[in-house]
Amino acid sequence: MIEKMMNPALTQLKVTAKDWQEAVHLAGAPLVEARAVSQHYVEEIIRSVEKYGPYFVITPHVALAHAPSDAGAHQLAMGITTLEPAVAFNNPDNDPVKYIFTLSAPDSNSHLQAMQELVELLSEDAFYQTLDQAQSPDEIMQYVQANVAAKKE
Amino acid sequence: MVKALVACRAGVGSSLMLKIKLNQVIDEQHWDMEVEHSSLDELESFDGPIIVTLSDVAADLKSEGVKKEIVGITNILDKNEIQTKVGAALEKIGDQ
């Protein structure tokens, strides 16, 4: 399931950002380009963090950038952006952020299985090694396909 | 059966992942516990005793004076953290 939400065009490696706002803008840009989300959705992510704090830095070095569905999530999609160098999101427990997963979920249930798979991916050290070492987005796609498919058997 | 609500700002991302991980812990620990998830907007209609959320959200809820057992998780993939903190909340409720 999650492999259908991802694609190489939504995946960016070794992106440089001067601060977390720029990092979220850059991470969201391919999803806006693909019309998976509106530009407003990306702005809403930033506004939410400014209002509530970095609530989506969920585990060390990982941000699951997202906003409520009605902010402009048009299509089910998951972007991956790796940051180099890592960027501070003002989350004392889990900073600095090296990986941004930009989630677009048009409703609260259609991505249930994909989130389950993301939990499994993020629980494996090998996934982080792949994110760090990949030379192209395709290598990450291959890892995801191999591992998500392997779990289903 | 104890009811717990996993909530986050948007109700589509972090809370869903936290719910998945919490359910794994519940299975392993054989806790008699049922988990729902939602956005914070639906907090008022929840009638159970425990709310599980990210630590910064938990701090806000506590300062707002929400009258529930509030558990804040910093690393939502860390089953040990979830087990320790939710386990402590369950004990507190059992004592009441």
Instruction: Read off the CATH number of the domain in which A21 is found.
Output: 3.40.930.10
Decide: B51 and B43 in contact? Cβ < 8 Å: yes
Annotate B45-73 with b (16+ C-beta within 10 A) or e (fewer): ebebbbbbbbbbbbebbeeeeeebbbbbb
Residue with tokens 């998780």: B73
Q: How many alpha carbons lie under 13 Å from residue B67 in its C-beta half-sphere?
A: 2
* pLDDT at residue number B91: 94
pLDDT over threshold 90, residue A62: yes
In this complex, the residue of B8, B20, B21 whose CB is nearest that of residue A55 is B8
Residue B11: its pLDDT value, please?
A: 67
Q: Which of A66, A107, A123 sits opposite B13 (nearest CB)?
A: A66
Is residue A74 flagged as an active site residue? no
Distance between A66 CA and the closest CA of chain B, angstroms: 7
How many Cα atoms within 13 Å fall on the side-chain side of residue B63? 6
Q: What are the tens digits of pLDDT across the range A72-128?
A: 999 999 999 999 999 999 998 999 999 999 999 998 777 888 999 999 999 999 999
- Tell me which of B38 and B6 has the higher pLDDT: B6
Q: By residue range, what is the domain housing residue A58?
A: 2-152
Q: What is the DSSP pairing of strand B33-39 with strand B50-54?
A: unpaired
Q: Do A68 and B21 touch (CB under 8 A)?
A: no
Number of domains chain A contains: 1
- Cβ-defined contact of B10 to A59 (cutoff 8 Å): no
**Distance between CA A96 and CA A94 in Å, rounded?**
6
ipTM of this model? 0.82
The beta strand positions in A7-114, using DSSP E, are 11-15, 57-59, 62-65, 77-87, 97-104
DSSP secondary structure, B4-22, as one string: EEEEESSSSSHHHHHHHHH
Percent with pLDDT over 90 in chain A: 78
Domains and CATH numbers, chain B: 2-91 (3.40.50.2300)
Instruction: Chain A: give the shortest CA distance to residue B26, in Å.
Output: 16
Residue B14 binned pLDDT confidence (cut-offs 50, 70, 90): confident
* Whether B76 contacts chain A with CB within 8 A: yes
Does residue B96 carry a pLDDT above 80? no
B36-90 pLDDT, tens digit each: 988 888 888 899 999 999 988 898 899 998 889 999 999 999 999 999 999 999 9
Pairing of strands A77-87, B69-73: unpaired
User: Best of A24, A61, A115, A124 to disrupt the B interface by mutation (most B CBs within 10 Å)?
Assistant: A115
Which of A99, A149, A153 minimizes the C-alpha distance to A127? A99
Q: Is A53 left (phi over 0), alpha (psi -120 to 50) or beta?
A: left
* Chain A CB within 8 Å of residue B42 CB: no
Please name the member of A48, A60, A108 whose beta carbon is closest to the beta carbon of B12: A108
Rounded CA-CA distance A24/A64 in Å is: 10
Do B13 and A48 make contact, defined as CB atoms within 8 angstroms?
Answer: no
CA B6 to chain centre: 5
Each residue of A33-47: pLDDT tens digit?
A: 999 999 999 999 999
Mean pLDDT, chain A, as a whole number?
Answer: 93
- A-chain residue closest to B40, CA distance: A68
pLDDT at A152 over 70: no
Measured between CA atoms, how close is B44 to chain A, in angstroms? 18
> In this predicted structure, what is the pLDDT of residue A68?
86
Residue of higher predicted confidence among A64 and B12: A64
Q: How far apart are CA A70 and CA A36, in angstroms?
A: 13
From A23's Cα to the closest Cα of chain B, the distance in A is 19
Q: Give me the pLDDT at residue A150, please.
A: 64
Residue from A40, A66, A74, A111 carrying the catalytic annotation: A66
Residue A112 pLDDT: 83
Q: Residues B25-34: what's their mean pLDDT?
A: 96
